[in-house]
Structure 1
Amino acid sequence: MDGVTIVTHPLVQHKLTLMRDKARSTKGFRQLLNEIGMLLCYEVTRDLPLEQVEIETPLGAMTAPVIAGKKLVFAPILRAGVGFLDGMLSLVPAARVAHIGLYRDPETLTAVEYYFKAPSDLAERLVVVMDPMLATANSAVAAIDRLKEHGARDIRFVCLLAAPEGVRKLRAAHPDVHIWTASVDSHLNDHGYIVPGLGDAGDRMYGTK
């Protein structure tokens, strides 16, 4: 699928299966989301540019690689996207964090914004947008619209699950934004949920209905 990377690492696929199980506890689901976020972060940052610096090891001087440029920005879409954040920050602790508050109107399925806060220099940073579910893609498109309005030019999108409909919509709206996901499932149901999916990620994370 053009513009989409499906992360097939065995640990990612194993943890995804555990999360799909409806018997998984809230605590277990939240922990797995954190772990899988770390693994997805590893994949989405695989090609970051490096530069050489001079350092001193205990045994002598050497030239060694470090990540080049300004720090990354992680941009979770509230509230479920926050489930990825701790895992990703454990790998990239110096990253900046943008918060994008959106909820899905239950009648129209459109994204309604209630909060936005981001670093002022987005144009100079790689921005990784995260949301466990890419279903209708309304929230993802709205979040990326807002980030671009604030100057973001280098954006990547990370999710746990995607529906083909959501992938098509996001790619049509933002063809420059590559998608990383652990699975592209069958379809959306009449309520805009991914099938077979895993239910509502936010509700399962926080024990709400």
Structure 2
Amino acid sequence: MPKNVIEIKHPLIQHKLTIMRDRSTASGKFRTLLKEISLLMGYEATRDLPMTLKNIETPLAEMNAPTLAGKKLCIFSILRAGDGLLNGLLELVPSARVGHIGIYRDPQSLEAVEYFFKGPQQLSDRLSLVVDPMLATGHSAIAAISHIKSKGARDIRFICLLAAPEGLQALHEVHPDVTVYTAAIESGLNEKGYILPGIGDAGDRIFGTSR
């Protein structure tokens, strides 16, 4: 297993994830839980943001207080399921810039096909968080990260709800500099490239659609 993988085993995250795994959990509840988990995971993924000191006056005294330094971070959502994680992260960091990458997985080859990209400028000076609930084969994550690197991004982290060992290995081979934050490392993939035991299709469960 690659070293730059952080599996967040906080009890609240694991409890919420168990409810999400249950096939009887409705889409509304599923969305709410994913948003809550993404906020909790965001604390871990941003724990080492650069800080500086700012002189302020409290009601009682003057002080040099810690505040975030540098340009605002950017969150890249891999459409469409990535928006389920995006919402919670924006509650945590409302000033973040947002980018979207449209990628779908070809059902035959399982390769990633990109159809849309829109992101902020000056990515070389920003932390970029790339979000997608599932890291299965890794093809979508690899394609998304390769694209934002081509736009100048250098400090990139990937946040997912579930990760398959196959996807982690594939991502590490192409982008060994990218740290992955996940709530669970699963047992593997089935013949269709779905994560087991997993949660099913994340996009379908978030938006109440079906295949």
TM-score band w.r.t. shorter chain: over 0.9
Letter in 2 for 1:12: I
- Within 5 Å, give how 1:160-175 maps onto structure 2: 160-175=161-176
- Secondary structure, counterpart of 1:59 in structure 2: coil
- Within 5 Å, give how 1:71-110 maps onto structure 2: 71-110=72-111
Inter-partner Cα distance in structure 2 for 1:136 and 1:86? 24
Structure 1 residue runs of 4 or more that deviate by more than 4 Å after TM superposition: none
Counterpart residue number, 2:41: 40
Inter-partner Cα distance in structure 2 for 1:16 and 1:75? 22
Inter-partner Cα distance in structure 2 for 1:81 and 1:124? 23
Inter-partner Cα distance in structure 2 for 1:166 and 1:36? 21
- Within 5 Å, give how 1:115-154 maps onto structure 2: 115-154=116-155
**1:182 equivalent in alignment to 2:183:** yes
Unmatched 5+ residue regions in structure 2?
none
* Number of aligned residue pairs: 209
1:85, CA displacement in angstroms?
Answer: 1.2
Superposition TM-score, scaled by structure 1 size: 0.99
**Deviations for 1:11-50, whole angstroms, at most 9, x for unmatched residues?**
1111111100000001010111111110111110011111
- Secondary structure, counterpart of 1:160 in structure 2: strand
Letter in 2 for 1:73: C
Superposition TM-score, scaled by structure 2 size: 0.98
Inter-partner Cα distance in structure 2 for 1:130 and 1:91? 14
**1:18 equivalent in alignment to 2:11:** no
What is the RMSD computed on CA atoms of the aligned residues?
0.6
Inter-partner Cα distance in structure 2 for 1:173 and 1:95? 27
Choose 161-170 or 42-51, whichever is displaced more: 42-51
1:84, CA displacement in angstroms?
Answer: 0.8
Inter-partner Cα distance in structure 2 for 1:208 and 1:109? 20
Letter in 2 for 1:199: G
1:169, CA displacement in angstroms?
Answer: 0.3
Counterpart residue number, 1:205: 206
Inter-partner Cα distance in structure 1 for 2:107 and 2:209? 16
